[in-house]
C-alpha cells in the first residue's frame, strides 16, 4: 500500500519496486483468489446459520430459551455473531500463513521486474516509519502476521539479487 508520507521518502526506483510488488499481487491473482475463498466461507457460514436456527441444542448450550411460537432468526443471528469469533480464532493462523505466502510471491515478482535492492530499501523505510519491531516473536508471527517479518522478506529479496 502507498501512503503519501511514504511516497515522499521513496526514490523513483523504490516507488517502482513497491508498485511492482502490488502488481505481483494482481499478476498472481491474489485478490481474485481471496474473494473466491471469502465467498465460499460466507456461503458455508450462512448454511451453518440456516441449520443452527432449526436446532434446540444451540440455544440450550448458550443458556438461552428460544421462542416456541415466534421466529428465532434475530436471536440466532446475535448468538451466532457472539460465538463465531471463538471458532474463527483457530482459522486465524491459516489466513496469516496464506497471506504471508502471497507476500513472498509478490516480492518475488517485484524482484523479477525491478532491482530487488530497491524493494529492500523501500521496506526498510516503511518499517522505520511504522516503528515496528524487526525481531517479532516467532509464535506470534506465525499466528497473527499477515506480512512476513522484515528480516525474512529482505533475506529472500537478497537471494533474488544474488
Active site (catalytic) residues: 22, 107
Piece of 76-84, 95-103, 132-140, 153-161 that binds Zn ion (CB under 5 A): 95-103
Residue 103 burial (CB count, 10 A):
21
Q: Is 106 in the site for Zn ion (CB under 5 A)?
A: yes
Piece of 12-20, 47-55, 77-85, 100-108 that binds Zn ion (CB under 5 A): 100-108
Sign of CA dihedral 113, 26, 5, 122: negative
d(CA 26, CA 20): 10
Task: For the CB of residue 11, give the shortest distance to Zn ion in the complex, in Å.
Answer: 20
Task: For the CB of residue 107, give the shortest distance to Zn ion in the complex, in Å.
Answer: 8
Site residues for Zn ion, window 56-85 (CB under 5 A)?
none
Task: For the CB of residue 47, give the shortest distance to Zn ion in the complex, in Å.
Answer: 32
Nearer to Zn ion, 18 or 79 (CB): 18
Piece of 44-52, 54-62, 101-109, 122-130 that binds Zn ion (CB under 5 A): 101-109
Residues in the chain: 162
Q: Is 157 in the site for Zn ion (CB under 5 A)?
A: no
Q: Is 122 in the site for Zn ion (CB under 5 A)?
A: no
Nearer to Zn ion, 6 or 106 (CB): 106
Nearer to Zn ion, 66 or 136 (CB): 136
Q: Is 6 in the site for Zn ion (CB under 5 A)?
A: no
- Written as one string, the DSSP assignment of the chain is ---HHHHHHS-HHHHHHHHHHHHHHHHTTHHHHHHHHHHHHHHHHHHHHHHHTT-SHHHHHTT----SSS--HHHHHHHHHHHHHHHHTTTHHHHHHHHHHHHHHHHHHHHHHS-HHHHHHHHHHHHHHHT--SS--HHHHHHH-SS--HHHHHHHHHHHH-
Interface residues with Zn ion (CB under 5 A) are: 103, 106
Amino acid at each position: 500500500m502507498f501512503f503519501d508520507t511514504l511516497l515522499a521518502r521513496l526514490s523513483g526506483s523504490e516507488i517502482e519496486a513497491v508498485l511492482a510488488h502490488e502488481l505481483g499481487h494482481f499478476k498472481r491473482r491474489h485478490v481474485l483468489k481471496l474473494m473466491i475463498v471469502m465467498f465460499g466461507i460466507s456461503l458455508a457460514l450462512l448454511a451453518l446459520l440456516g441449520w443452527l436456527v432449526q436446532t434446540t441444542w444451540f440455544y440450550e448450550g448458550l443458556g438461552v430459551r428460544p421462542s416456541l411460537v415466534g421466529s428465532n432468526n434475530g436471536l440466532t443471528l446475535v448468538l451466532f455473531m457472539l460465538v463465531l469469533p471463538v471458532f474463527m480464532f483457530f482459522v486465524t493462523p491459516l489466513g496469516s500463513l496464506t497471506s504471508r505466502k502471497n507476500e513472498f510471491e509478490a516480492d518475488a515478482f517485484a524482484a523479477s521486474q525491478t532491482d530487488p535492492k530497491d524493494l529492500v530499501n523501500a521496506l526498510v523505510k516503511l518499517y522505520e516509519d511504522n516503528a515496528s519491531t524487526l525481531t517479532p516473536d516467532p509464535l506470534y508471527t506465525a499466528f497473527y502476521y499477515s506480512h512476513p517479518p522484515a528480516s525474512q522478506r529482505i533475506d529472500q529479496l537478497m537471494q533474488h539479487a544474488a
